[in-house]
Amino acid sequence: MKIKLLVGTMFVVSTVLACSGQVLADQCSQADSKDKPDDYATEVLDGQKSDISLSSENNDLDLYVFAAPLPGKYVVEITGYESGKEDTPYVYVFEKGSSDKLAKNVSGETYNSSFEVELEMGETYYIAAWKRHSNKSTDYTFNIHYTTAKKGWFYIDGIWYCCSDGTIQKGWKQLAGDWYYFAPDGKMKTGWSQTPGGWYYFARSGVMQTGLLEIDGSKYIFGDDGKMKTGWQKLDGSWYYFASSGEMKTGWIQPGGTWYFMDEDGKMHTGWLEDEGKWYYMISDGTMVKGWLSIGDKKYYLGSDGAMVTGVTEIDGALYYFSDSGVKKDGWVQSGSTWMYFSTEDGAAVTGWQEISGKKYYFNDDCEMLIGLIEVDDELYYLASSGAMQTDWQKIDNEWYYFDLESGAAVKGWKQVGSKWYYFHVDGTMAAGEYCEGYQINEDGTWTNPNKASWKQDSVGYWYGDASGWYAKNETLIIDGEEYMFDTHGYCTNPNMNV
């Protein structure tokens, strides 16, 4: 205990001091106008010697204040004076009473130049050095020191202290293999304590704690030196993470900008993790995966938030398909009412014309397989309900089409199929029962009449006929896709600009 030594002050006391076991501050003549002896007392330390000279005035008194650092017995003595009855000084010890005044004499009724007294730890006492009536000054040495030589533990006002060779312990102390820490005033630390070396935790017994410890529902880890650790810590082969406060973290954490997941017991998670209905994957160092993930021969994709994707997913401008288990799939996949095809090479959804298992299919820009009549690059194609491109004769919505056996494109204009000729409109439909480019097309779509008809005009009007002498009359014909009516004389009754 480091205490500042104050300047001593001389006092004159009345003769009451010599006959009473109790002295009050106001009995000191120089203290008549003062309430606090502290103003006049010199502070002394255990084991300190102080050379003081008492004047030749009668009833001189030196007053000291002393705070006992330990409980037990102390020797208070005056030495170094000239022997002789008239020159013998005496000392007394008084408790510090209410209002900081001197109170009960604890040294006894007998005044001696040396005696042993029992003092309580932490209590403040006043020590008076005095000499009997004499007309000469006396030099003396005042001394107080601890004599109990107390060792071991003692308990005062709910606080534990420890002494060794009469000295109260302060700071770190190893006892019976365990470490303890004592405050500057000697109080044994329990619970959390911050020392110059960091944070520590001490049990109720005062023993410094090490290892993984649960405190008030939270877990902390302490090294072999007892210091609380933070950040990543490895314990029994598993990794844990402790915040700057020392608290062990669970759930999602992001130290250094990287995501990790700590299980309920604080262990760093690796492998697959299901959290709130989503799946995540942590590699062996605990890092949460983003992007492509290969496990064996299976591929997965984890989004920017680390969640595993399923279904049709766009990645870097291409579409991929992932099953409910997250595995990337290739081949045919039905997405809602639409079929898609994912390449067996890279798994990306295909677009445009694709030959699959010997058949041709067409996929639009959204990677959807098309069916029915489609137009691609100004050509007409027909895809069955299976999506496969069809060739040859096809009847669609009661209309006949013919699709090239090689390209699959719908034929337009004249086409010989087998030994017969046919004519197909620009929309691909087969002509039947009409005239196309001057030739008569039969009802079954075949062309058999070699005579070519054409439009003619005289002073009466327009009429339609061929070189054989035939001409249309009293009928309605479809000529090059337009309907014309002819009267009984053969004149067209509804000619238009195309005629």
Degrees (nearest 5) of the Cα angle 315, 321, 323? 130
Q: Please give the mean pLDDT across all residues of the chain.
A: 83
The pTM for the full model equals 0.65
Least confident residue range of 182-186, 274-278, 462-466: 182-186
For residue range 370-394, list pLDDT tens digits in order. 999 999 999 999 999 999 999 999 9
Least confident residue range of 67-71, 94-98, 311-315, 433-437: 94-98
* pLDDT band of 80, cuts 50, 70, 90: low
Is 291 a residue whose pLDDT tops 70? yes
For residue range 151-205, list pLDDT tens digits in order. 788 888 888 988 876 678 899 999 999 999 999 988 999 999 998 889 999 999 9
Task: Give 449-499 as a DSSP string.
Answer: --PPEEEEE-SS-EEEEETTS-B--SEEEEETTEEEEE-TTS-BSS--TT-
User: Which residue shows structure tokens 């915040």?
Assistant: 243
In this predicted structure, what is the pLDDT of residue 499?
A: 56
Q: How far apart are CA 248 and CA 43, in angstroms?
A: 49
Question: Which residues touch 72 (CB under 8 Å, ≥6 apart)?
Answer: 118, 119, 146, 147, 148, 150
For residue range 402-448, list pLDDT tens digits in order. 999 999 999 999 999 999 999 999 999 999 999 999 999 999 999 99
In this predicted structure, what is the pLDDT of residue 84?
A: 55
In this predicted structure, what is the pLDDT of residue 13?
A: 26
Q: How far apart are CA 420 and CA 368, in angstroms?
A: 38
